[in-house]
Amino acid sequence: MEPNREPQRLPGASLWPIGFALGIACVLVGIVISWIVAVVGAAIAVFCATLWIRDSALSYTRAEIADPERRAPRGDGAPPADELGPAMPVMSDEEIEKYPRSVFLEASTLGLGALIGGIVTVPVIGFMVAPAFVNQHPKKVDLGPITNFPENQFVIASFFRDPAAGRVSRRTAYIRNNGPTDKGTSFTILSNRCAHLGCPVQPNGPVLDNQEKSVKTAGPNVSIIPMIPAGGFGCPCHGGQYDQEGNRTAGPPVRALDRFEYEINHGRLVLLGAYSVSKVEGTGAAAQIHAYPLAGPGQHVDGPEGWLYPVQPPH
Structure confidence by residue, pLDDT tens digits, 178-188: 988 888 889 99
Residue 245 carries which side chain, given as an amino acid letter? E
> Could you tell me if 42 and 35 are in contact, meaning their C-beta atoms sit under 8 angstroms apart?
no
Q: How far apart are CA 172 and CA 194, in angstroms?
A: 12
- The answer to whether position 122 is within a domain reads no
pLDDT in tens, 247-298: 999 999 999 999 999 999 888 999 998 999 999 999 888 899 999 988 888 8
Model pLDDT, residue 260? 93
DSSP classification of residue 90 = P
Is the backbone of residue 209 left (phi > 0), alpha (psi -120 to 50) or beta? alpha
> Could you tell me if 298 and 196 are in contact, meaning their C-beta atoms sit under 8 angstroms apart?
yes
Going by pLDDT thresholds of 50, 70 and 90, the confidence category of residue 170 is confident
- The answer to whether position 64 is within a domain reads no
Going by pLDDT thresholds of 50, 70 and 90, the confidence category of residue 315 is very low
Q: What is the CATH number of the domain that holds 178?
A: 2.102.10.10
DSSP classification of residue 308 = T
CA-wise closest residue to 186 among 225, 223, 146: 146
Count of domains observed in the chain: 1
Is the pLDDT reported for residue 137 higher than 70?
no
Is the pLDDT reported for residue 112 higher than 70?
yes
- The answer to whether position 6 is within a domain reads no
Is the pLDDT reported for residue 135 higher than 90?
no
pTM for the structure as a whole: 0.59
Is the pLDDT reported for residue 236 higher than 80?
yes
Q: How far apart are CA 65 and CA 200, in angstroms?
A: 78
Contacts of 25 (CB under 8 A, 6+ apart): 41
> Could you tell me if 222 and 140 are in contact, meaning their C-beta atoms sit under 8 angstroms apart?
no
Q: How far apart are CA 303 and CA 218, in angstroms?
A: 42
Is the pLDDT reported for residue 190 higher than 80?
yes
φ and ψ at residue 269, rounded to 5 degrees:
-85, 120
- The answer to whether position 80 is within a domain reads no
Contacts of 289 (CB under 8 A, 6+ apart): 259, 277, 280
- The answer to whether position 237 is within a domain reads yes
Q: Residues 49-54: what's their mean pLDDT? A: 82
> Could you tell me if 51 and 40 are in contact, meaning their C-beta atoms sit under 8 angstroms apart?
no
> Could you tell me if 50 and 66 are in contact, meaning their C-beta atoms sit under 8 angstroms apart?
no
- The answer to whether position 69 is within a domain reads no
- The answer to whether position 10 is within a domain reads no
Model pLDDT, residue 258? 94
Residue 167: helix, strand or coil by DSSP? helix
- The answer to whether position 106 is within a domain reads no
Of residues 224 and 132, more confidence is placed in 224
φ and ψ at residue 15, rounded to 5 degrees:
-95, -5
Range of the domain at 210: 141-307
Going by pLDDT thresholds of 50, 70 and 90, the confidence category of residue 109 is confident
- Strand order of the β-sheet with 241-242 is 202-203, 233-234, 241-242, 248-250
Give the residue ranges of DSSP H helices in the chain: 16-33, 35-61, 101-129, 303-307
Contacts of 270 (CB under 8 A, 6+ apart): 140, 141, 142, 143, 262, 263, 264
